[in-house]
Amino acid sequence: MEIKLPFTEAVATRFDALYQFLNRKYQLAENHLTIDDRTLRIFTVADVNKLVDELILANPDSAHQMDDQIPYWAEIWPASRALSRFLLNHPQKIRNKECLEIGCGVGVVSIIARQLGARVTVSDYQEDALRFSELNWLLNLGESPPGTLLDWRKPELNQTFEVILASDVAYEERFFYPLVETFRTLLVPSGRILLSEPNRKIAEKFFKILLQEGFEYEKLQVTVDNHGRTVQIGVYDIVRKSG
């Protein structure tokens, strides 16, 4: 594979090291992702289902307990496309702001946010998600992001942010209260959370908890393409209740 970009030597060296490491571990796929007027080149795992099968075969006695290891991060989800599209249409919400993306996956949302002038820290529970995110930052932005491992259940990070970005994180009830506590811990008092969610029934309880815990939100439906099918994704602009 040949990458033709005006990389500096330092960027090219780091990109090559990451690419070689990930390519030995996974079968990689390069995607040309168009969101409104932007086209990104994004590397993902080529066959996530195969990856899950291999994980289960390697741990047959604990397959029902493996949710933390399932590589949800390894592909591009419609919710990340929707949040990216929302940011492109509302750049003032993040421009020149300190942002944290939780569950960064392969880095689509954080790349768009950075292109729009945000200062973005990427975070995920899985180390390889941070590696894919950095690989894609290098390819699209020519720089590496600040990044950190972050467990929503124990958000050990000595920094607060003006904006928290999150796509498709409210998918399991056991994470709902920890997520709200993560928002409370890592968000500055006047900050906001921009969160996309694919209108799952289970997430209704999460948004009820948000209201109960002192937050309020506005919801906008964003239309995106998902493998040739149009889907509606809810994007929530969440702030602490005033007063």
Per-residue confidence (pLDDT) for residue 68, from 0 to 100: 58
Could you give the number of structural domains in the chain?
1
Q: What is the pLDDT of residue 59?
A: 62
- Give CA–CA dist 184/210, Å, rounded: 10
Tokens coding 154: 């124990």
| 62-85 per-position pLDDT tens digit | 544 445 566 778 889 999 999 999
Tell me what pLDDT residue 69 has: 63
Q: Is the dihedral of CA 227, 35, 169, 239 positive or negative?
A: negative
Report CA-CA distances (Å) from 233 to 20, 155, 164: 35, 27, 18
Neighbours of 52 (CB within 10 A): 17
pLDDT tier at 3 (50, 70, 90 boundaries)?
A: very low
Q: Residues 110-140: pLDDT tens digits?
A: 999 999 999 999 999 999 999 999 999 999 9
pLDDT at 4: 53
CA angle 78, 46, 107 (to 5 degrees): 50
**Residue 115 falls within a domain, yes or no?**
yes
If we measure between CA atoms, which residue out of 131, 180, 130, 133 comes closest to residue 152? 180
DSSP for 76-119, please give it: --HHHHHHHHHHHH-GGGTTT-EEEEES-TTSHHHHHHHHTT-E
CATH classification at residue 30: 3.40.50.150
Residue 154 — very low, low, confident or very high, per pLDDT cuts 50/70/90?
confident
Q: Does residue 130 belong to any structural domain of this protein?
A: yes
Assigned domain for 1 exists: no
- Of 80-89, 180-189, 220-229, where does mean pLDDT reach its minimum? 220-229
**Whether the model pTM is above 0.75:** yes
Residue 2: inside a domain, yes or no? no
Domain range enclosing 189:
9-240
By the 8 A CB rule, do 109 and 83 touch?
yes
pLDDT at 142 over 60: yes
Q: pLDDT at residue 2 above 80?
A: no
Residue 222 lies in a domain: yes
How confident is the model at residue 74, as a pLDDT?
87
Cβ atoms of 106 and 133 closer than 8 Å? yes
